[in-house]
Structure 1
Amino acid sequence: MENTFIAFLDRYLDIWRNCSLAEMKRVVARDFQAREVTDGLVSDFGFEESITGWEKGFKFIKENEAQWDVSKVSILQLREGEMLAILSATIIINGISLDTANLFFQTFKEDTLGEWKLARSYIEAGIPSENIKSLALK
């Protein structure tokens, strides 16, 4: 299971880096649930809001000729058919990284067809990049 998940996760990160909204829609579960914390403000959202967020983020990247800098921090199995990926993400514009990044705790589940889907996400947004750089894949 872990090997198939690692292959999926690499594909997921390529979808993210390539700003492919159509492919992102296919890997986010319809019953997706998320919580994001930005400057102490908590926001809960589901599939539709998530896709709208991806659409805005991808548009920003394309319009500003920027790129995503997404890194794996840690991966662990929660249960059979359920994996947690801890990821950090920031944006690079004109070769310069933003001063802040987001830390994503993303739970992926294997569906009945054996395909991995993003089921849940907890996001800490706006973390100083220097605080995340000390994290390493374990």
Structure 2
Amino acid sequence: MPATDTLLKEFEHFFQHYQDVWNGCNAEEMNAFLSKEIAIRWAGPEANISDWGYEEAKMGWEQAYQQYEGRQPKWHFKVLHITPATENEVIATFWVTFEIEGKLLDVVKLFIQRFRKEQNDWTLIREYCEHLHADSFISN
């Protein structure tokens, strides 16, 4: 099996775990995936742009999970594409929709995330997110 096939198989297994942890609402576990050098850019629907690093990302997970505590949050992932970027890095592109207390919210996010495998662990090194309203969501 070529090295890229092995890398992708390992990543796909990891990425399912990553989604499960995301839905587990444990900020400490989510923050463990973050590289100390992470670079994040989020673009909002009104052309608002936010850039974050490691500390802001950690705080973001903590605040998000606190905000939704007790409200049964669930994130739904639709993977669009996963591709190797280097011999130890993978880029994942996916949609995320979100529900609280069983009700789907009018928010859709498009993520492009780059992960690096170091030793046996995957680390999120870069993230770009576009925030859309559900009425503009294109599912294909």
Q: TM-score range by the shorter chain?
A: 0.7 to 0.9
Q: Distance in 2 between matches of 1:63 and 1:133?
A: 30
**Residues 110, 40 of structure 1: CA spacing in aligned structure 2 closer, same or farther, 3 A cutoff?**
same
Q: Structure 1 residue 56 and structure 2 residue 75: aligned?
A: no
2:109 is aligned with 1:102: yes
Secondary structure of residue in 1 paired with 2:63: helix
Q: In the alignment, is the contact (CA less than 8 A) between 1:105 and 1:122 conserved in 2?
A: yes
Distance in 1, Cα, partners of 2:41 & 2:28: 23
Find the aligned partners of 1:105 and 1:92 in 2 and give their Cα distance. Answer: 21
Cα distance in 2 for residues equivalent to 1:45 and 1:23: 19
* 2:85 equivalent in structure 1: 78
Deviation at 1:114, TM superposition (A): 3.0
Q: For 1:1-12, what aligned pairs fall within 5 Å after superposition?
A: 1-12=7-18
> Are 1:32 and 1:46, in contact at CA under 8 Å, matched by a contact in 2?
yes
Mapped to 1, the partners of 2:41 and 2:104 lie a distance apart of 25
Deviation of 1:106 after TM superposition, in Å, equals: 0.3
1:15–1:23 Cα contact (<8 Å) kept: yes
Instruction: State the secondary structure of the residue aligned to 1:19.
Output: coil
Percent identity, please: 28
TM-score by length of 1: 0.87
Counterpart of 1:40 in 2: which secondary structure? coil
- Residue number among 23, 26, 39 corresponding to 1:33 in the alignment: 39
1:88 corresponds to which of 88, 95, 99: 95
Q: Which amino acid aligns with 1:87?
A: F
**Residue 133 of structure 1: how far off its partner (Å):** 4.8
TM-score (norm 2): 0.86
Q: Could you tell me which runs of 5 or more consecutive residues in structure 1 were left unpaired when the two chains were aligned.
A: none
Unaligned ranges ≥5, structure 2: 1-6
Amino acid at match of 1:51: K
Distance 2:85 2:135 in 1: 28
* Helix, strand or coil at the partner of 1:134: coil
What CA distance in whole angstroms lies between the structure 1 residues aligned with 2:114 and 2:50?
18
AA at the equivalent of 2:18: Y
For the residues of structure 2 that align with 1:109 and 1:128, how far apart are their CA atoms? 30
Q: State the distance in 2 between where 1:37 and 1:65 align.
A: 26
